[in-house]
Each structure stands twice: as C-alpha cells, then as structure tokens.
Amino acid sequence: AHPFPQVANKSLNFIVRLKGRDAFGRENEIAIVKVPRALPRLIRMPPKVAPKEALFVSLSSIVRAHLHDLFPGREVTEFSQFRVTRHSDLALDEEDVRNLRTALRQGLQHRHYGQAVRLEVSAGCSVFLSNFLLGQFDLPGAALYRVGGPVNLVRLTQLVDLVNDPALLFPPWRSVWPRQMQPGVSILEQLRHRDILMHQPFESFDGLLAFLREAVNDPQVLVIKQTIYRTGS
C-alpha cells in the first residue's frame, strides 16, 4: 500500500473510496486527489453552454463530476472534499539563527506541513472516510468540521476581477488623515503629551509615514523598532 501523501495547509483535496483492482492488480481502497493550487477555483462557462452572460462553476464541482475518469476500470463508491488546517506559527530565535533570511525561508516552507489542528469535510462525508482522515492526521473527533457548501469562501473574491460590472461594486474608500494626529505639528511632540491611535486602512497610512520620516531625521532617535502582525489569511 502507498503511504498517505503529504497534504499542504488549507489545500483543496478529495478522498475517494474505490472498488475493484487497478491496472497493476492492486486493491487500494482509498485514494487521495490533490488539486493543484495553480488552477483557478472559479471557471467561466463558455457562452455556447451558459444561459447567462456570466456563469461560473467551481473547480471542486468539476473535479467531483469527473472523479470516475481518474480511475478507469474501477468503481467510485463514495468521496468527499476535505481541507486540513495546520499549525503555522513561525518561531525563530534570532540569537541562535546565523542566517535569518535562510531560516525564514525554511520556516515558511515548513509551515505548509505543520501539525494538523482542524479537518473540514463535506457535510455528507461518511463516518468511514472522516474517521480515516482523522486517523491519518492524528486528530480527535472534536477537530472535525462538516461544511455544507464551499470550504473556502475567500476564493469567491476572484469574481471581482472576472465580472467587469462597476454597478456591482461598492465605491472605493478614500482614507483620511488620522483624526488624533494634528497635521503640520511635530508628531514626536504630540506623542510627548498623549498616545495616538490610528485606525488603518480607514485612516491614511500617510500619518505613519510622516512619523517614520520625522524619526529618521531626528538626531536624538537612535533606533526604530516595529512589531508587525499578520492580520490577513
């Protein structure tokens, strides 16, 4: 039997239960279909088959409809889409790391295959398939989530670029100067009197840039330190 394949963090995959023998006479009951990340998750239907001007179908729906084509001579008895979320914290000790750039590159690569923390399957996934996946990823039953619809709704943001209709879009937000920051007055001097809270991106980043420029040109500033948090997925 083949070992269970490496499944990348939050990638699109299918688990398939098969019946019969393959071309080599083997009776592998379980197969994993990994969908490449390079493929678009939304496919525009050609005009000759689309009843409307802009009709899209998800990549997962296309894969589901043609799973049997991937296993000629065998019967697909059941299947389920699944996605695994892995622990992706990046912990580096700057004191022990000689080459920070290399360490970061290696750490970012390993994040895709960290310890599994959550398993998402289709709502109709059988207990047999879900238990099989839980065992492979060494997860308890509490880490299993059944999803009745698309697993990753973020992929639907592609529609903004695929459908060219300004009437469907909200007007662009125009950020303003931070209201707690007085323009034309030294920011360092303002900070000596009180803290300044900026709400971005609703407030312009120009205030932050002005603060950094002033700090860079101030001879009394010896070092600038920033803590940057990743707020997006």
Non-local (6+) Cβ contacts of 153 within 8 A are: none
- The pLDDT of residue 91 is 62
pLDDT value of residue 226? 85
**CA–CA separation, 87 vs 132, rounded Å?**
20
Closest CA to 179 of 200, 164, 158, 163: 200
In this predicted model, what pLDDT tens digit does every residue of 56-66 receive, in sequence order? 999 999 999 99
**pLDDT (average), residues 75-87:** 93
> What integer pLDDT is reported at residue 157 of this predicted model?
85
pLDDT band at 222 (very low <50, low <70, confident <90, very high): very high
What are the structure tokens assigned to 171, written together?
């007007």
What percent of the chain lies above the pLDDT cut of 90? 52
| pLDDT score, position 109 | 63
Confidence check: pLDDT of 4 > 70: yes
151 pLDDT exceeds 70?
Answer: yes
Residue 201 preceded by cis peptide, ω within 30: yes
Identify the H or E element spanning 42: strand 42-44
Segments making up each domain of the chain, as ranges: 13-166, 173-233
How far apart, in Å, are the Cα atoms of 153 and each of 42, 58, 156, 158, 213?
11, 11, 6, 10, 39
The answer to whether residue 97 scores a pLDDT higher than 60 is no
Higher pLDDT, 128 or 168: 128
pLDDT at position 201: 83
Distances (CA, A) of 32 to 129, 171, 196, 207: 11, 43, 52, 51
3 state DSSP class of 203:
strand
pTM of the model: 0.69
